[in-house]
Amino acid sequence: MKTRLDEKRNITPKQAVEILRKNGVEVSEEKAIKILDTMYFLAGLIVEHNFKKC
């Protein structure tokens, strides 16, 4: 699923899997992609809401 947020991603799904594993959460790469999509989407909404409505 391509979105406007695909332009710049600093964390890869593999990195997300490793970070989560270190914190006791086991997920597949496919699930990590969905988690990252959600996190980047929410971060975009927060930026729009707080900084672009001035």
pLDDT digits (tens, 9 = 90+) for 24-37: 999 999 999 999 99
Q: What is the pLDDT of residue 54?
A: 57
DSSP string, 1-54: ---GGGG--SS-HHHHHHHHHHTT----HHHHHHHHHHHHHHHHHHHHHHHS--
Beta carbons within 8 Å of 14's beta carbon, 6+ residues apart: 29, 32
What is the residue extent of each domain of the chain? 10-51
DSSP secondary structure letter of residue 10: S
52 has pLDDT over 60:
yes
The pTM of the full predicted model, rounded to 2 decimals, is 0.76
DSSP secondary structure letter of residue 4: G
